[in-house]
Structure 1
C-alpha cells in the first residue's frame, strides 16, 4: 500500500490479511447509547452514498492512519479510524446476510474460519467477531416486521451472554439494530455495490505511518495517547473550513484560538471541560439565532424544527457536520454576530471601569453554557440583543446594560417558558432591543408586548418613580433581588402607596423592604417550627390556592416562575402580609413571630394548625385540601396518597394526652386517628368501656358517630358525656349536641 492511497474498506483486504484494532485503542463507541446522533448521521451519510448513481463523486471518509506489520500473515494495525472501519464492517456483514451474499462475504472477509477484521482490546471482542462471521445467517429474519437483529443474535446458540458485558460487543449489537432499521427496506444489491472496485461509493485516504518513518509511539503521543479529537476540535476544524471565503475568516480563526479561548479557559466550571463549554456556546448560539429568525413563529414550528432546536439547546450530543450543513447553520452573518458577542464579553472583562457590567455578562455566559433552561437561554439572548443593538460602545454602556438586563430579566422571570413561549419572548425582546440605550424614555410610550403584559405596567411604574427621584432605582433593585420575588415587587409598591393621595413614598418603601428581607430570610422560611406560617395564620387565611380545593402553606423553592407564583411572592401581595409587617419592629423577627403564635385566639382550623406545627411538617409538599369545614393534610400532592383530617387528628392527640396523664374523667380506654387515602374518609377510633368501639368522622362542622368503620354504615348514638368532653377538649370549634 502506498504512503497515501484512496481505497475502499473491501479493497484493504486485497493488500493485507487482517485489520486489527490494537490493545491501545478504546472500545467501539459509535454503538453506545449516548452516541445516537453520531450513529444516525453516519448511517444516513452511508445510505445516501450507496444510493447515488455512478456519475456522483464517492463519499470520502477522511484519513485512516495505521501501520502494516509485514509478516505472514500481514496485518494492518489501525491507530485512527477504528470507529468508521468497525461500522463499515458491520454494514458489510448485515447487507451480505440480508441479500443472501454470506458466501461472498466469507470469501472476502474470513481467513481460516476467522474474521479478517478484529479487535484485540479484549478476548471477548475477538471471539465475537470470529463467531459472527462463521455462523450461517439463514435462520435470521430480515423482513420489515422481523425481531431486532441484536436480539436474534443474542438468542443464537453460538452467542455467549457474557459477551454482552464487553463494551465493544454491546456497541456492535446496538449498531446492527440501527443498521437494520435504516437498511431493511433497501431493495438494491447494496452489498455488491459496497464492495465494487469499479464503482467506488465509499472510500478513505490511507496513510501508512511507517512509510513516513514515524513510529506508532510518536503518533500516540501526538494524538493524546490514542484518544480521539474532542468534539469541539472537530467542530472548529469544520467551522474554519466552512468560512474560507469570508473576508474576516482569518481574524475569526485567530480569535477562536486566541482571546476567546482565554475567555472560556477562565470560566473554570467544575466537572465540565473547557472545550465542552466552548462547543456548547456555539451550539446554543445557533439555537438562539435560529429561534430569532423572522420566519420562525410559535404557530409554524414543525416537528423537525422542534427536534433541531432541542438538539442545539441541550447541546449534549456530539457535533454533527451533516445536519449543520443541511440546516445552513453558522452562515457568515451569524458568525459576525457571534464575533461581536464574544468580543464584547472579552473586552468587558478587561475594562477597568466596567466591573459590574463584566460581572453580569460573565455570570450570564456561565449560566448559558451550563444550563439548558429556557429562562437562562432567554436572559443570555437579552444580553446578545443588547450587544448587537450597539452602534458603537459608549461611556455609559455599562449603565445601559444594567438597566436593560434588569428590565428584561424582570419580564422573563414572570413567564412560564416553553418552546413556543420562548420564541414569542425572543421576538418581543428583538423588537425592544433597538431602544435598549434609551430604555427609560422609550418606555413612557412604548407599546405593550402581549407576552409581557402582566409585568409591563409594574415596570413602567418603576421607571416613572426613578424619573421622579433617581434614588428609587437602588431601592427597587434591592427589593427585586430577593430570591422569592425576582423582579415582581408590586406587593411592596402597593403597601408604599398612600391610599388617600395615591402617591408612593420612597421612605416607606425602603422600610417595608427592610422588614420583608428580614421576614423572608432563608432561616425563617425554612424554620422547622414553621413560625412564619403559623404567625400569618393567627392574622388570617394567607394560604395560596393551587387549584381544586388545594392550598399551599408555601415552600422555600423559588427557582421557577411556577414555584414563585405558588409561593411567598403571592403572599407578599396579600393584605395580610402588610398586616404582619406592622408587627415587625426592631426586635428579632423570630421573637415577634413567636409572640403572635403565643397569643393566638383566631379559633377554627387556623388556630388548630398554629398549635400543632407537626401537621405542616407532615405535608411534605406543604399542601392541604379544604372541603367545606373539613381540612385534609396531604402527605403528597393529592388525596391519592395518605392524608388525615385536621379536627379528628387534634381530638385524637388531645384524648391520647389526657389518657397518658390519667386525668380523663370519662370511660374511654384508647383513641387513635386513622390515616387513609383515595376516596375514604379519615376517622377517629375510640375504645369505650366494655370493649365497645365507636368511629368518629368530622363532617358538616361537627363530629358524628358511626357503628362501624365503613362510612356508609348506620349512625350510632354518641355517649351522653361526649358533647361536654368535646367542649372541653376542642374549644377552638363549636361543640356538637
Structure 2
C-alpha cells in the first residue's frame, strides 16, 4: 500500500518530471491514516500508564482546543485538495499491537469521528472487526465502553444528543459516568455531532469514503520506537507535558501489570460463543471492579476536588500495612536484606537471624507506608493471598453500606470522635472507622487496629449481626485503649492479638471465656476481658452494668478494680458491683479538689512520686492531677489509695442526691484527723494553689511543704508545721 501511495503522490505532484524532494517522499512514505493503522494492526491499545482522554474535558481552554481541532479535521475532509497533517504518532509495535507513546488524544478523537460517521452511514455493522481493535488499557471501564460502542452502537437509546442516547442504552453502566475518559469521549461525540449536524446522508457517505480511501485527507507521521525501549518511566515523563498522573494512577497501572505477571487472576479471552460468561468473569476482576463498584464506593467519599485518587491510595496502603502485620510476609530482596542486616549489626543487636532481618524489614516497611501512603507499591502485595485480601477488603466496604458502619451503643472515644462528616457538597454522615481510615489526615496505629478488627468481622462472617459486631468492637476498643500502640513493633503485636481473637468474633464472650490465647500482647487487659466475658456468660445481668462502667470517659474499659471491690470471698456479686460502680461513676465524675479532700478523710492516700524534693530530706507526694496520674494510681493499686477509694464509695448515700452535697457530707462526718491532712482539708487555698497538686513531707510527716507555682521545690513553697 505504501508503494502504491508513492506512485499516486508522484502523479499528483505539479512537478511531474520527477524533481520531487527526497525528504518529502520519505515523509509521505511514513505517513498513515487512522483507518489504515486500524486495518493493518491487530490492535491499537492505549497503554495502561497513559493519561485519561483529555480532549473531551469541559473547561474553557479545552473547549477552545477541541473546537479548533474538530474544525480543522472537518475542513480537511470537506476539502478537495491537500490534506491535514497531524504531526507524529509514535510508539511501540509488538506482534502487530500498537501502543502509542504520543498521539493518544488524536487517535481517540479520530476513532470517535470514524465511529460516528460509520454509525450515521450504516457502515458500523460491516466494520466492527476493525473498530473493535481500538481499545483502552488505562481503565477496564474505558475498554468495555469502546467495545460496547462497537458491538451495540447501532442500538442506541432515547435522547436529543448522542451522549443522551448512549446514557439511555441498556448496555451503559451508570458507574461509567465517573470514568473521566468515558465522560470526555461523550463530550467529544456531542461536539462531533454538533459539527456534522448540518450534513445530509450523501455528504456523510462521501466523508466516509474519503476517510477510508487510499489517499485520505487526514494523515499523521507514524513512527515505531521499539528500539529505544518503552518503559513505564518514559510514559510518565512524556505525559508530564499534560495532566500529570496521580500516585493512584501510577500505582494502578503498575499493579495491573503486577497482577498479570504473577498470574493472580486467570487471564480471560473473549469468546464470541460465550460472551455472557466472559462478561460475568470480567466483572469479578480487579481491573473491572476498581473502575466500577469500588469507584462508586470512593466517589461517595471524594474530596473537594471531586477526585478519589488520594482516598483510594490511602486505603490500599492501609490494607498493605495491615496485611504485613497480619501475615509477617515480605517480598524477598537480597539488597534490602543485606542493608537491613548491616543496620541491625550497627545497633549491636544479638542473634541477627534471617527471621530477625525479615521482621525488621517488615517493621520498616510498615513505618514507611504509615508516614507516606503514596509510597505504596505493587510489591507490597507479594502473594496471591495478599492480593485476594485486598480485593476482599474493597468488596466488603462496597456493599451493605459498610462504609457507614458504626457499632451500636459503643463509644469509640478519640479513635472516632462522634460528629457529622461532610463527605461531599451534598451529603453528611456520621463519622466512622472507614472515614478515619481513608481521610486526608493521619490515621493512628490504634485507629488502624480498630479498623482491622472491623474488617476481620466483615470478611470472616457472611451474616452481619449488630449485637455480636458491637460486642466484638467493644472488646477490641477496650484492649486498644489500654495498650500503647505507637510503633510498627507494637502495631504488629496488636494485629497478631486481634487476628487470633477474630476466630471468635461472632461470639467474642463465648470465645474469651473458653479459649487460651497464644498472644502475649496486652496481657493484663486480656485477663480483664476474659473475666468480664466469664461473668457475662454466667449471668447476663452483668452485661449492662459492665458496659455502663467501661463506657465511662475516665475508666475507658479498664474496670478491674471495681470488679475486685464486688468480690465477696471468691465470688463476684452482681448486686455489689452495681452499687459500687454506680457510686464510683457519680463521685468520680470530676477529679476536683472536693474529691481529693473526701479521699483524704478516708486514708493517707497521697502517692509518693518516687522523688526527693530539693529540700533534700522531704519526699514528694502526688495528690493526683492529670488523668494519667489518676489512671496509674488505680493500676498500681497502692494499698492506701485503693482503701481510700473503697471506703469513699462504700459510704451510705442516696444516688439521687447531688454529688457535691454527698462529698461535703462525707468530709463533715469524717473522723477528725490530727495530721497534715487536716490542713489540706480545712484550707481551700492550700489545695487550690498547690502547684500541680504536689506536696512534700518530712519522714515523720510532721512538716508539710506545699509547692506554690513553681517546678523547683525549695524555691517557692509554704511550710506548715503539723
TM-score (norm 1): 0.49
TM-score (norm 2): 0.50
